[in-house]
Structure 1
Amino acid sequence: VCRLSGSYAGGILAAGVFSFSRLTWQWSIAAEVFSLNNLFVGLLMALTAHFEEASTAKERSKISKLGAFCCGLSLCNQHTIVLYIVCIVPWVLFRLFQRRELSPGHLLKLGLCFLAGLLPYLYLPASSYLNRARWTWGDQTTFQGFLTHFLREEYGTFSLVNTGHFLTDFSPEVMLFQLMQMKSELSLAALSLALMACLSAALPTERKNLPVIWLFTGMLCVYSLFFAWRANLDITKPLFMGVVERFWMQSNAAVAVLAGLGLARLVPLGSAALDARRVLPCLEWLSALALVACQIWTNYSACDQSSNYVVDNFARNLLSSMPAGAVVLLRGDLPGNALRYLHYCEGMRPDITLVDQEMMTYEWYLPKLAKHLPGIHFPGKRWNPVEGLLPDGTLVFNLHRFLKVNKHKEVFVCIGLHEGDSTWKKSYSLWPWGTCEKLVPSEAVFDPGEWIRLTRNLYNWTEDYGRFQPSSWEAVANEEMWQARMKTAFFIFDLAETASVTAEMKSRLYTFAYTLYKEIINSHAKHPVNWHKNYAIACERMLHLQEVGMDQETLLSETVKHFLLYVERAEDDPQRQDILRAVKHLKKELQVLRRMKKE
């Protein structure tokens, strides 16, 4: 910004507003690709400005070669930057062509510089060939495997999730959310200044740096439109919204630069209109510093992660709860990444084995990583719901077969099992183990009292319920740990409802579930809303048992109270009206019972 406009205040505004926005700040302290992508975006835009301001052909040649190298290097980190590259590269080539500086030799050198930037990709086939990494993605020893990884095909090329189709519908909602997010992240003032830069560039009297402003505006539009087309996640869900909004940092960078240029344009325009040449530069600095200070003030508390160990504690609790030598079948980003980090990087619980359920369905996973999973037997090359030989000769196995050949191991699933394979139900059951579950042979006898004892104090979790933003992984981890407190009670209650057992055993199960529900509910003032419903149903079941020592009035009161607490907070429950009708009936029963007691 400073190079293009000569305004230091504009440069500080652009850098400060973007750097101290919530998203940029948060992801700059996370081990993800986005902070490095922000660096490359800034670098490419700076080189573009430097190229435009270059005064000699030699300088432009040097900058264009450096830019070509940086374009290739940036693609080694994050694919979305290609949307800026496809705008910058033709623009640079056109500007060189305009000045008659684009010869075939120079074009060849630019291509070689670009390829040199892609050299880090050579690490992939080398690493894949050596096969020493205990965790990796894909098999890049073949050209097809390398291309699959390069194009990110297993995730979905230029998509946030692989839906099996390349085309998705353009989403105006995503564009609207992006605009609202820009306003929230960069402030309305910054958006207004960015618009000012675009409008001033359209004035016939303003020709300075016009091509660069239109280039940056075009980059912003291309990226936003393309992303609105390819962002195939449901952004009405907070967690998915959190996934999508990370990619808007790239467009926010362009808006911040335009905002800085807009501020720089205001000074000469204001000076010409108001004849206040001394006052306006002071106002320029004051407004720039004020906007940056406002960003810091607004976002510091949300971005201060100095005491945030939520995901770390989540993973440590899960690993610590596992018995010696256990096999953990992982599923999902949160348990998968968190547990793998502690297990592989920090060496926590080297006695257990982590196996990724989703990865076992890929043809490269077991050939590459099975040797790093000692003590586990894989009865084939890939996990598939239908076991046997595939047409290409690949031997596949289902979960039932996997459990059968590893029956010497205690096997747990975190979190949940792959829905496509239900073969495990032939010989196994899932028993709750905190956030996870244990696969237990069906012939094993369930002792509710003993299982309550084993799972009662699995975790040391002290986070308050609902204290994290719904779009954060901390919120997901916290929700899982809170719901884990109720899983054993829910399992025992469900067993009483569905299992073919004697009336005496059914009564025991209901009593165990009710007692555990009551203990949990009374131990926590604030908790998940579904706990009220579960406890109310347990109280209602106890009413029908006529257990000795159970006060009917108390049970009725608790049922009514917690059903009402539930419907008060769960307004979107489709059974809400049915629950309210049931509560109305229970209130009448309670009144009758109280009258009978008085008489």
Structure 2
Amino acid sequence: MIFRTCALTWKQNSPEPAGTREPRRQRLPKQPQPSHYAHTRGRSVNEEQLVKWFEMNAKRTCWTLTGATVACVLALYLPRVPRAVAGGDSGELITAACELGVAHPPGYPLFTMLASLALLLVPTTSPAHAINVLCAVLGAMASGALCYTVCSQHQCMFCNMWRYFSEMAGPGPGAVLAGGSFALSKLVWQWSLVAEVFSLNNLFVGIIFSLSVCFHNAETVDQKKKFALWGALCCGLSLCNQHTLVVYVLFIIPWALLQLYTYDAKSEGKVNLMKMLQAHCNHGVDDLSVPVLVLAVLALLHALCNRKMCPYVRELCILTHRRWRVFVCLIAVMVSAYSVFFAWRANLDIENTLLLGVVERFWLQADAGVCVLAGLGLNWTVCFLERWLGLRSLWNVGAWLITAGLLSHTIHINQREFDQSKNDAVERFARELIFSFPESSLVLTRGDLPGNTLRYLHYCQGLRPDLSLVDQEMMTYSWYVLKLQQHLPGVKFPGQVWDPVITEQKNSFNIEQFIQHNIHRPLFVCIGLSEGDPSWEKTFSLWPWGVCEQLMPLTSRLHPVEWAQRTQNLYNWSEPHNSFPPGSWERVANEEMWQARMKMAFFLFDLAERMEGGGQTHLYELSYNLYCQIVNAQMDYPANWDKNLALAAERLLHLGGGHHGLESLLSNSIHHFNRDCGNPWNRRDRGCRQGATATLECGPPEQIRVESPTSRRWGVKRESKRWEIKRVHCWSQEHDGIRVNKLVNRGMDRKT
């Protein structure tokens, strides 16, 4: 046992009085008499019994703190779990659990099986709520695993020198700080309340850390092999959930093999890398807080310092410093390697709030290691102060106060923002969409928000069984038609795979052929059609239908007034504009609903630009009237509405004004141009779809020009370029404000 080894080492190194020749082993020191062990007073304490008692007491303390941490975090999470489906991949993962299907690569089989089991065992009001509860439980267990990691490492450090055990602080403050600061941090709290794979990944990170401590502290080869086997199982299961954990596994495997191999011998004798790293560091300061980072740095410094730099803890350092240092350095190296590797390989524009939110989710794995280091740093600091200055109770109470203060402050900051119990914006968005389609419609989806949420309502809750939902991106996989055709009755596929590049290949088809085979049904597209296959443009056009568009043959005749009346009140949406935080899926859904109100007006404006004669004036006037209706009905609305209304007034003014006075058109045009250009907040188009921004250089009409950076909407990435004048078929493919500004360029070219 390590405790007997520690005792013998202390005996052999004890000072010998001058002038004596007796062997040191004959003059053993007195057995310690801990003052707070009443049953040991007045009599000799058996070493083996005392060591076992210390071990049992330490293990009991570890499990008690771990259970208390899990219970407290769970009590905080469960009341705030949303009862509706969230944005992102939640809808897809829940649908896969309902159907026992396969989610997007890597498939997440372990999460799918656990979620399917939760649907059977958790009595809730909806499938989304049941799986959200499962993720909250997994997130709470992850915090408990980190707490246990710090407890176990503290037990190893200070039980080794059992002679001083009664004088040492317990592991409580650091362990609770590690688990609590991780569970209550902004990102962890946010992604532990929704049906995502990150809470399960966090749990595996905590379990692997805990098993690494147990493996490192094991005293025999058999014990090490046992923990190594459990660790191998957890590493394999974790890689069935999320592949980012492979960075940690690549460090743990050689470290564990080295430990096993050398044990007997020892017993015998494109994105900018710096910008991404800076964003990660800023996240650590803002989310995990400065005190947590300071404690983590203290733990690392203590692990790296020389023994001579620790004169007040020299006796402990003799036997425990090296072992403690190895584990701390292992975690620090894994966290550093993971952060640098992910910053190097990440290719998303973090200046975009939604894409930054996508990147942030992968920082959780590094946060777990930082929180463990912070807990170890707090424990070491308290024990260092005890050995140096005494006053054990003072430092122990101070550590508890620091832990309680940090966690209470974090709860106070985050609890209101992350109370998602009444948040159903994304599900209401999907319900408005799914009930707006005519009977027996075929809907081609694209992107996470409409596609995943519509499938959740359709397959898990059984809404609109008459609809057929087809994912455009998935049709490009060779297995999609083969595996899912039987689950899409009434949908005709002209081949086995959608290949817009090699259309001559056997069993391949393009989108125009697919539309022709299903034209007997009402066809709708959400988020437009793929830019890589423009074959449909020769025979079809897209007419606005709220957030989505309806595919119509070019031979179909449009009646603008009737179509505007038909699509004017598709949705019953009452959320205020800008009512959700930037980067959230709720904000994206809300923005889509707001932009859908002006979609018909913009469609008529764009149609008028491609016409000549009297019909052009009529379309401009209809567009202007629709813009006036939606602008006058709202107090706060997207900024691009002002630009579009001003442009419609300017076009109508040049054509004589129609039924409107020239003076009113001129004043309206100037007013809304100035309103958009005069407000600094409006310079960055608040009406942009997520990820798409437009910068408007204000000035006289002949000097207005627009440049647009890379545009990304719902996972669809586009080239960065200065906008050129060309026919636009699909309104939803690019941001509406940008497309209106393309018309500005067109008008300026005409004037010059």
Give the TM-score of the pair, scaled to structure 2. Answer: 0.66
What SS does the corresponding residue of 2:550 show, helix, strand or coil?
strand
Q: CA 1:192/1:445 → structure 2, altered by over 3 Å: closer, same or farther?
A: same
**Pair 1:476 & 2:613 matched:** no
Aligned residue in 2 for 1:440: 552
What residue in structure 2 maps to residue 344 of structure 1? 459
Partner in structure 2 of residue 40 of structure 1: 204
Corresponding residue for 1:304? 419
Output the amino acid matched with 2:284: M
Aligned partner of residue 194 in structure 1, secondary structure = helix
Q: Which moves more between the two structures, 73-82 or 200-209?
A: 200-209
CA distance in 2 between counterparts of 1:405 and 1:239 reads 37
Q: 1:51 to 1:419 in 2, by over 3 A?
A: same
Partners of 2:433 and 2:623 lie apart in 1 by: 24
Matches within 5 A, 1:182-193: 182-193=284-295
1:554 corresponds to 2:669 = no
Aligned partners of 2:440 and 2:468 also within 8 Å = yes
Distance 2:220 2:658 in 1: 96
Cα 1:376/1:16, change in 2 over 3 Å: same
Q: Is the 8 A contact 2:503 2:509 kept in 1?
A: yes
In structure 2, relative to structure 1, the CA distance for the partners of 1:96 and 1:50 (3 Å cut) is same
SS of corresponding position for 2:469: strand
Q: Describe the shift of the 1:433–1:298 C-alpha distance in structure 2 as closer, same or farther (beyond 3 A).
A: same
Q: Match of 1:23, as an amino acid?
A: L
* Alignment correspondent of 2:611: 499
Question: In structure 1, how many angstroms separate the alpha carbons of the residues matched to 2:564 and 2:658?
Answer: 22
Counterpart residue number, 1:260: 375
Counterpart of 2:474 in structure 1: which amino acid?
M
Alignment check: 8 A CA contact 2:617 2:658 kept: no
Is the counterpart of residue 2 in structure 1 residue 166 in structure 2?
no
Task: Give 1:526's match in structure 2, choosing from 636, 640, 651.
Answer: 636
Aligned to 1:513: 623
- Deviates most, 171-180 or 243-252: 171-180
Summarize deviations over 1:189-228 as a string: whole Å, max 9, x none: 1001000000011222341511110111111011111111
RMSD of the alignment, in Å?
A: 1.9
Distance 1:264 1:229 in 2: 34
Note the alpha carbon deviations across 1:90-140, whole angstroms, 9 max, x for none: 1122122221299xxxxxxxxxxxxxxxxxxxxxxxxxxxxxxxxxxxxxx
The verdict on how the C-alpha distance between 1:498 and 1:4 changes in structure 2, with shifts beyond 3 A counting, is same
SS at the partner of 2:264? coil
Gaps of 5+ in 2: 1-149, 156-170, 308-316, 685-693, 705-752
2:577 maps to 1:577: no
Contact 1:360 1:382 in 2 (8 A): yes
Which amino acid letter does the alignment assign opposite residue 70 of structure 1?
C
Q: How far apart are 1:170 and its partner, in Å?
A: 6.3
Taking a change above 3 Å as real, the CA distance of residues 526 and 170 of structure 1, as seen in their structure-2 partners, is closer
Q: Helix, strand or coil: the match of 1:278?
A: helix
1:277 to 376, 379, 392: 392
How far the C-alpha of 1:529 sits from its partner, in A, is 0.6
Q: For 2:345 and 2:639, how far apart are their aligned partners in 1?
A: 35
Give 1:546 deviation, angstroms: 3.4
Match of 1:64 among 210, 228, 232: 228
Q: Structure 1 residue 482: deviation in Å?
A: 0.9
Q: Deviations along 1:281-307, whole A, 9 cap, x unmatched?
A: 110111011111111111111211111
The letter of the residue matching 1:483 is Q
- For 2:433 and 2:500, locate their aligned partners in 1 and report how far apart those are by CA, in whole Å: 27
Q: Distance in 1 between matches of 2:653 and 2:421?
A: 50
- Which of the residues 484, 488, 495 maps onto 1:369? 484
Of 182, 187, 195 in structure 1, the residue corresponding to residue 297 of structure 2 is 195
Query: CA separation in 2, counterparts of 1:548 and 1:172?
Result: 57
Q: 447, 454, 465: which is aligned to 2:566?
A: 454
Q: Quick check: 2:271–2:346 contact (8 Å CA) kept in 1?
A: no
Q: Distance in 2 between matches of 1:189 and 1:554?
A: 61
1:372-421 deviation line (CA, Å, top 9, x unaligned): 1111111111112357432xxx3211121111121211111001110011
Unaligned runs of 5+ residues in structure 1 are 103-167, 584-599
Of 52, 62, 85 in structure 1, the residue corresponding to residue 249 of structure 2 is 85
**What's the % identity of the aligned pairs?**
46
Match of 1:397 in 2: 509
Aligned residues: 513
Give the alignment partner of residue 325 of structure 2, picking from 187, 191, 210. 210
Cα distance in 1 for partners of 2:436, 2:672 equals: 32
Provide the secondary structure at the position in 2 that maps to 1:560: helix
Contact 2:271 2:348 in 1 (8 A): no
Give the residue type in structure 2 aligned to 1:265: W
What's the offset of the Cα at 1:422? 1.1
Equivalences for 1:409-424 in 2 at 5 Å? 409-424=521-536
Relative to structure 1, the CA distance from residue 548 to residue 443 in structure 2 (aligned partners, 3 Å threshold; closer, same or farther) is closer
Indicate the SS of the match to 1:553.
helix
* Correspondence 1:172 to 2:274: yes
Q: Which residue identity does 1:344 align to in structure 2?
A: Y
Q: Counterpart of 2:258 in structure 1: which amino acid?
A: F
d(CA) in 2 for partners of 1:388, 1:40: 45
Correspondence for 1:219: 334
Deviation sequence 1:37-61 (CA, Å, 0-9, x none) = 0000000001111222223333222
Q: Which amino acid aligns with 2:671?
A: K
Q: What is the distance in 1 between the residues matched to 2:529 and 2:562?
A: 25
Residues 22 and 185 in structure 1, CA contact (< 8 A), matched pair in contact too? yes
For residues 170 and 233 of structure 1, the distance between their equivalents in structure 2, rounded to whole angstroms, comes to 10
Deviates more, 1:49-58 or 1:542-551: 542-551
Q: Secondary structure at the match of 2:411?
A: helix
Following superposition, the deviation at residue 516 of structure 1 comes to 0.6
SS in 1 for 2:416: helix
What secondary structure sits across from 1:46 in the alignment? helix
Q: 8 Å contact 1:386–1:397 — kept in the other structure?
A: no
Kindly tell me: are residues 101 and 185 of structure 1, through their superposed partners in 2, closer, same or farther at Cα, counting changes over 3 Å? farther
In 1, Cα distance between the equivalents of 2:540 and 2:659? 37
Instruction: List per-residue Cα deviations over 1:20-51 (Å, max 9, x = no partner).
Output: 11111111111111000000000000111122
- TM-superposed deviation, 1:357: 0.9
1:327 aligned residue: 442
Structure 1 residue 238: deviation in Å? 1.0
How far apart are the structure 2 equivalents of 1:565 and 1:98?
Answer: 74
Measured against aligned partners, the alpha-carbon deviations of 1:215-249 in whole angstroms (never above 9, x if no partner) come to 11111011111111111111111111111100000
Secondary structure at the counterpart of residue 236 of structure 1: coil
Task: Give the 3-state SS of the residue equivalent to 1:198 in structure 2.
Answer: helix
- Please state how far the C-alpha of 1:276 moved relative to its aligned partner: 3.1
Contact 2:683 2:696 in 1 (8 A): no
Cα separation, partners in 2 of 1:43 and 1:406, compared to 1, 3 Å: same
Structure 2 residue identity aligned to 1:223: Y
Partner of 2:114: none
What code does the residue aligned with 1:74 have?
Answer: S
Alpha-carbon distance in structure 2 between the residues aligned to 1:194 and 1:580: 57
Q: What code does the residue aligned with 2:215 have?
A: F
Aligned to 2:363: 248
